Amino acid sequence: MAIITLFWKDQIGLSLTQILLLQGIFAVAMVIMEYPSGYLSDRIGYRKALNYAALLGVVGWGLYTIADSFFGVLIAEIILGISLSFISGSDSALLFESLKGTDEEQHYARHQGRVNGSGQLGEACGALFAGLLYATAPLLPFMIQIAVWILIFFLSRTLVEPHRITRAPTSHFAEAWQSTRYALLENKKLRYTILLNLVLGLASFYPVWLIQPYMQEGGVPVTWFGPIWAIANLTVALFALASQRFHLRLGDGRMVLLFTALIVGGFLGLGLVGGLWGFVFYYLLTSMRGLRGPMMLNHAQLEIPSPNRAGILSLQSLCFRLAFVCTGPLIGKLADSFGVQQTFLILCYAFGVILPPVVWLFLRQLRKAPVG
């Protein structure tokens, strides 16, 4: 991740418009498989779904080592998108169902924070060496990715499937449609939790693909990219680990106001400062990303019935991916036309307008149906 945008630009020759289009297509692959994979995971088991994801990951990164064009990268990204769609929902559902009925169930958000934090810590450790690996041989990081996903496969096979009550649906389509109605229409609290999580997710996702060319335009040395990315992931990890403490101290209202302030402040700083050290404001957005994950996922989990847990969590991811498919290429076009720094300023204004009504809808439902 620390060097992937540079690889696309310098080794494959993609423009920023093509890169965001590529990620849009990646999102489409996940959209197509997102809900079906979550629904399938609820039926075949979370462990088996994660095994399939690992095997597809090995294939996807293997194809990257021979890709030399937009089309080659596209095929690899589609397979990786399907792989991640099997992970999405299955991992969090596995954690929640494993804790359910134990003394630790009430501490789900803390355990989810540890999961998020350890994942970001792993990415940070990899990022420390990414620039050096890329400078040594552009394909070296991809070769190592193959080994990592082989390890993931063997690790996923050691997971224990939790016992849970399932029912055989009379119609898979009817069951899937009923879950969708429940999440997006019938349960207002879950609906607005998904909506707020979607907006917060987009705010943290656009910069992932724009920060590297932003730093390149600002004259940041390539050798800094790995450490900068590592610090960003460490920031996500630390704030994910601290998320529950922040939540207990601030409550839902002040937490979402903090999210809003971090987003607006981060994009405003990236848009106005620029230059060698402008990337520092990116850390405000990574801090928000770490804080919001465990809290928002906990709110969603509490509203989801057990038999359809992975499916509805995947539906939440599907909504996010659809939103990115519709907006990502436009953001890339803005960056190509007006520059990355100016695009960050436009995003600051956009989120400053969008967030207040979404936050109000979310908090209004929480006041009507308080947790606990």
Give residue 372's pLDDT band: very low, low, confident or very high (50, 70, 90): very low
Average pLDDT, integer, range 153-175: 73
Q: Alpha carbon 242 to chain centroid distance?
A: 18
DSSP single-letter state for residue 8: I
Return d(Cα 135, Cα 144) in angstroms, integer: 15
Whether residue 171 is predicted with pLDDT greater than 60 in this model: the reply is: no
pLDDT number for residue 13: 84
Give residue 164's pLDDT band: very low, low, confident or very high (50, 70, 90): low
Mean pLDDT computed over every residue of the chain: 85
Angle CA 299–301–305, to nearest 5:
130
pLDDT number for residue 369: 56
Q: Quick one: CA torsion of 252, 253, 254, 258, rounded to 10 degrees?
A: 90
Domains and CATH numbers, the chain: 4-160+176-368 (1.20.1250.20)
pLDDT number for residue 55: 95
Average pLDDT, integer, range 178-188: 80
Indicate the pTM of the whole model: 0.71
Whether residue 371 is predicted with pLDDT greater than 60 in this model: the reply is: no
Between 281 and 118, the more confident residue is 281
Q: How many CB atoms lie within 10 A of CB 257?
A: 15
pLDDT number for residue 170: 53
Q: Which of 41, 288, 60 is nearest to 162 (CA)?
A: 41
Q: Which of 78, 93, 319 is nearest to 195 (CA)?
A: 319
Return d(Cα 34, Cα 312) in angstroms, integer: 10
Average pLDDT, integer, range 216-242: 85
Could you tell me how many residues make up the chain? 372
pLDDT number for residue 274: 81
pLDDT number for residue 282: 95
Q: What is the pLDDT of residues 80-110, one digit of tens each?
A: 888 888 887 788 888 888 888 788 877 887 8
Q: What is the pLDDT of residues 27-80, one digit of tens each?
A: 777 667 766 777 777 778 888 889 999 999 999 999 988 988 888 898 998 898
